[in-house]
Amino acid sequence: MENGSSHKVQIIVAVLGLVGVLATAVLSNWDKFFPAPPPPTIEPTRAPTAAPTPKPPEPTSTVPEPTRAPTATPPTKALEPTTAAGKVLFKESFGDNANGWAIWKPGANYDAYLENGEYVIEPKSPSNAPEVMPMTFQRPENFDLEVSAIWKSGVTDHRYGLVLGVDADTYYTFGASGNGQAVVGINKGGAGDGIPDPIGWKPKTAREGDGVSFNKLKIEVRDNKISYYVNDRYIGEIANAIMRDKWAIGVMVQDKQKVAFDDLVLTAR
């Protein structure tokens, strides 16, 4: 009996020893059997994912932005240059006689008078009947001179028109006729006979006279050159050979015809 009890005791002691060894081994390798959870990850700071707040609209400016390229479709052809309107130096509408035009009615050689806002000249002989206005300021290098003229009655084969020159004796005439022609003449020292016209008669270059239709007669002076136009139609060009410091503008009628003038305008260019 004693031997059997002793044997049981030995077995129990051996088991307890084994359990101890196993427990020590487990405790020694606990982290291998049951690893610790990883530490929490900390993310760096980042922008929010929510939609950004919309920007307020920019104020509208009334000042154009010169640095911005135009968005309009470019033209398909070159634009004509815009020219300045020019400075009006003298303007006569003949509504009154504030400028002191000559009034002859009845006159010895011709009648000249204001009627219905027009200046009418009516010669009584084949001679010229010029009326000019001396200019009291320096003649500009470049200028335009124009007038509207209406043939009323009388002969149709003599001139009427603009006067540009020195005075009532020496001047150029930029004319038209009742039968629809244009011409440029010259008068020196009160005489025009025997002096060739700088630009001869050109048929069908003006409106024929019917008592109501007008011809717009215009000259463009550019330095020493004078270009003549009738109703914007180019007639020709001459060189100034008579005007120097003294100068005058006006109108004229030749031979027995009645012509009315309106809107005489001198414009610097």
| Structure confidence by residue, pLDDT tens digits, 31-57 | 555 554 444 333 333 333 333 344 444
Q: How far apart are CA 176 and CA 162, in angstroms?
A: 9
pLDDT at 245: 87
What SS3 state is found at 152?
Answer: strand
Counting every residue, how long is the chain?
269
Look at the block and give the residue holding tokens 């136009």. 229
pTM here is: 0.67
H helix and E strand count, the chain:
2, 14
Considering 57-66, 73-82, 237-246, the range whose residues carry the highest mean pLDDT is: 237-246
What topology does CATH give the domain 89-268? Answer: Jelly Rolls (2.60.120)
Q: Which of 79-88, 192-201, 234-243 has the lowest mean pLDDT?
A: 79-88
Structure confidence at residue 9 as a pLDDT band (50, 70, 90): low
| CA–CA separation, 117 and 110 (whole Å) | 19
Q: Is 262 exposed, middle or buried (0-12, 13-18, 19+ CB in 10 A)?
A: middle
17-26, 80-89, 152-161, 189-198: least confident range: 17-26
Buried b (16+ CB within 10 A) or exposed e, 190-200: eebeeeebbbe
Give the start-to-end residue ranges of the domains of the chain. Answer: 89-268
User: Is 172 a residue whose pLDDT tops 60?
Assistant: yes
